[in-house]
Chain A
Amino acid sequence: MVNSVRNVKFEIIGLNVWFGPVHALKQISIGIQANEILTAIGPSNSGKTTFLRMLNRLNDLNQDFKMAGVVKLEQEDVKNIDTESLRKRVGMVFALPLPLPLSIFDNVAYGVRMHGEKNEKILSELVEVSLKEAYLWKEVKDRLNESAFKLSGGQQQRLCIARTLAVEPEVILFDEPCSGLDPISTAKVEDAMVKLKQKYTIVLVTNNVKQAARVGDMTAFFLNGELIELDRTDKIFNAPADKRTDGYVRGEFG
């Protein structure tokens, strides 16, 4: 399947990142297509998280962070977008679900309220839509006022997805979102991700190679801060070009 007109969401050109003396990303160039899932795999410390956090400029918080190269969101250098609006457009879901000590409803409405929405009707519509998109609505619709801590780990993670969706982003970044979840919850989160790509562009960092194979359209293999291979997911898993990629996806090191 080849689209003649492809819509590039993110374009990363010659990206290098340093944390003090550590050269964490080396000369990375990747295009990320809209409405696709890019999965990033690689062993520990290969730079996957660093790459992900370049896309919403979360690395800027680090005191001794330095970079070279360009990250463009729809043709615009992210350096020229102020961080608040960039992060509204590019949402992020973390490894550990981080519900706030609030009700389920207030958790989802949190970001939207922070951005100034006060109309309760709009808020409750947004909360419902977001929970539906995160495939959590059915499980929580009768208990929206209960504390978010009463949910299971998998439900909490989908709640965090809903919270990110409520801000109406264009791109969603996932950093090992299932690392703390059981297989059934993992399957539900994966389901949600695959359906979400119709509306959003998704970047998924995962330590679980099988997960990358299940949900990815494109897959990038990182090793020691280098991008070893970037290709369609089935190609990476069935006929990788690089021996190191082959070794990693077959579980020979990692």
Chain B
Amino acid sequence: MKKIKELLIEKLILICGLASIFFVLLIFLFLLKEGLAVFKTVSSFNFLFGKSWYPISEPPALGILPLIMGSLLVTLGAAIISIPIGVGCAIYIAEIAPLKIKEILKAGIELLAAIPSVVLGFIGMVTLVPLVKTVFHLPTGLTALSGAIMLAFMAMPTIVSIAEDALYSVPKTYKEGALALGATHWQAIWRVMLPAASSGIVAAVMLGIGRVIGETMAVMMITGNAAVMPNSILVPVRTLTATIAAEMGEAVVGAEHYFALFAVGIVLFVISFAINVTADLFLHKRQ
């Protein structure tokens, strides 16, 4: 009787596992089927490197380079802002902060992670956007820079908590070894702790960026959504994610525009997948 119960539970769990894999596969196949259809009308080179995106003009121009550039610019900006601040904050929490401040900071970071992105986008819209506009004397504050700053806030909790974890799991003996040689606290951090935690920190950064590149709502609200080739970080841009979100509703099912948006989805999927796999590689190297 007991045996049968065990067996039943085992099979049930197996089915759950298989089902989740099956659904992922199904989604992926659907994405491929709908997305690849666009290459009947436009070559993959022209799709990826074409400089104009006018999906509803006649004939439609389906080059997504401006969108890729928009995503890259915003993501890169967010990375440049969030990596030093995030890693610095992780070092502070793991190594320097007294117990009380440490608890407060960790709670704060968790709170930041819990703010829904649309709320963060809204706050950014009414505070950050006017600020960027006045500081740089721009006609509009809806720029790639605003998006980058906003996204840096979203990447930060991931980066801080995973990097802090990596630093925390460096064996205590490493640090003591350095200190016993007469190292200052900072020398021990810089020359021993950080190198020892480096793969975990890289993974933290990759996961933080992975989160940023898939972000849609906040970006849509504050980057201005102009699908043109950006020539600086102070102009409006449109990202891959925002394009899908904004245009899918009005695209006619079965039209080129519709297929093109799916293909944008494939590109996005490939980028996120690559980032996650890289992060995974670094995390496993650590263990």
Closest to B192 in A: A100
In contact, A94 and B182 (Cβ under 8 angstroms)? no
Given A94-B173, A96-B173, A98-B174, A56:B180 Cβ within 8 A: yes
Contact residues in A for B179 (Cβ distance below 8 Å): 58, 61, 83, 87
Minimal beta-carbon separation of A208 from chain B (angstroms)? 21
In contact, A94 and B181 (Cβ under 8 angstroms)? no
In contact, A88 and B173 (Cβ under 8 angstroms)? no
Candidates B174, B182, B184, B195; contact of A111 at CB < 8 Å: B182
Closest to A98 in B: B177
| A80 close to chain B: CB less than 8 A | no
Contact residues in B for A61 (Cβ distance below 8 Å): 176, 179
Contact residues in B for A83 (Cβ distance below 8 Å): 179
Interface pairs (19), CB distance under 8 Å: A58-B176, A58-B179, A61-B179, A83-B179, A84-B182, A84-B183, A84-B184, A85-B182, A91-B180, A92-B180, A94-B177, A110-B181, A111-B182, A114-B182, A114-B183, A114-B191, A163-B181, A164-B181, A167-B181
Beyond the given pairs A61-B176, A94-B177, A111-B183, 11 more chain A to chain B contacts, judged by CB atoms under 8 angstroms and listed by A's residue number, are A56-B180, A83-B179, A84-B184, A87-B179, A88-B182, A91-B180, A100-B192, A101-B195, A114-B181, A163-B181, A167-B182
Minimal beta-carbon separation of B187 from chain A (angstroms)? 6
| B99 close to chain A: CB less than 8 A | yes
Residue of A84, A88, A164 most packed against chain B (CB within 10 A): A84
Minimal beta-carbon separation of B194 from chain A (angstroms)? 13
Interface residues on B, range: 10 to 19
Minimal beta-carbon separation of A211 from chain B (angstroms)? 21
Could you tell me the distance between the alpha carbons of A164 and B176 in the complex, rounded to whole angstroms?
A: 13
Could you tell me the distance between the alpha carbons of A71 and B184 in the complex, rounded to whole angstroms?
A: 21
| A75 close to chain B: CB less than 8 A | no
- List B residues at the A interface (Cβ < 8 Å): 99, 173-174, 176-184, 187, 191-192, 195
Contact residues in B for A87 (Cβ distance below 8 Å): 179-182
Could you tell me the distance between the alpha carbons of A102 and B176 in the complex, rounded to whole angstroms?
A: 18
Count the A residues whose beta carbon is within 8 Å of the partner chain — how many? Answer: 23
Minimal beta-carbon separation of B218 from chain A (angstroms)? 39
Minimal beta-carbon separation of A187 from chain B (angstroms)? 25
Could you tell me the distance between the alpha carbons of A114 and B177 in the complex, rounded to whole angstroms?
A: 13
In contact, B173 and A91 (Cβ under 8 angstroms)? no
Minimal beta-carbon separation of A203 from chain B (angstroms)? 13
Contact residues in A for B195 (Cβ distance below 8 Å): 101
Minimal beta-carbon separation of A117 from chain B (angstroms)? 12
For window 158-184 of chain A, which residues contact chain B by CB distance below 8 Å? 163-164, 167
For window 96-132 of chain A, which residues contact chain B by CB distance below 8 Å? 96, 98, 100-101, 110-111, 114-115
Could you tell me the distance between the alpha carbons of A63 and B179 in the complex, rounded to whole angstroms?
A: 16
Q: Please list the 4 inter-chain residue pairs (A to B) with the smallest Cβ-Cβ separation, ordered nearest first.
A: A111-B181, A88-B182, A92-B180, A87-B182
Could you tell me the distance between the alpha carbons of A63 and B99 in the complex, rounded to whole angstroms?
A: 9
Minimal beta-carbon separation of A19 from chain B (angstroms)? 15
Contact residues in A for B99 (Cβ distance below 8 Å): 63
Residue of B178, B182, B192 most packed against chain A (CB within 10 A): B182
Contact residues in B for A85 (Cβ distance below 8 Å): 182
Minimal beta-carbon separation of A106 from chain B (angstroms)? 12
Candidates B174, B178, B181, B184; contact of A91 at CB < 8 Å: B181
Could you tell me the distance between the alpha carbons of A56 and B179 in the complex, rounded to whole angstroms?
A: 10
Closest to A163 in B: B181
Contact residues in A for B173 (Cβ distance below 8 Å): 94, 96, 98
Residue of B176, B181, B195 most packed against chain A (CB within 10 A): B181
Could you tell me the distance between the alpha carbons of A115 and B183 in the complex, rounded to whole angstroms?
A: 8
Q: Beta-carbon contacts of A216-250 to B below 8 Å, as 1s and 0s?
A: 00000000000000000000000000000000000
Contact residues in A for B181 (Cβ distance below 8 Å): 87-88, 91, 110-111, 114, 163-164, 167
In contact, A114 and B187 (Cβ under 8 angstroms)? yes
Closest to A113 in B: B191
Minimal beta-carbon separation of A10 from chain B (angstroms)? 16
Could you tell me the distance between the alpha carbons of A96 and B173 in the complex, rounded to whole angstroms?
A: 9
Closest to A63 in B: B99
Minimal beta-carbon separation of A253 from chain B (angstroms)? 29
Minimal beta-carbon separation of B182 from chain A (angstroms)? 4
Could you tell me the distance between the alpha carbons of A94 and B172 in the complex, rounded to whole angstroms?
A: 12
Contact residues in B for A115 (Cβ distance below 8 Å): 182
Closest to B187 in A: A114
Could you tell me the distance between the alpha carbons of A144 and B241 in the complex, rounded to whole angstroms?
A: 54
Q: Beta-carbon contacts of A2-14 to B below 8 Å, as 1s and 0s?
A: 0000000000000
Minimal beta-carbon separation of B168 from chain A (angstroms)? 15
Minimal beta-carbon separation of B174 from chain A (angstroms)? 7
Could you tell me the distance between the alpha carbons of A48 and B34 in the complex, rounded to whole angstroms?
A: 71
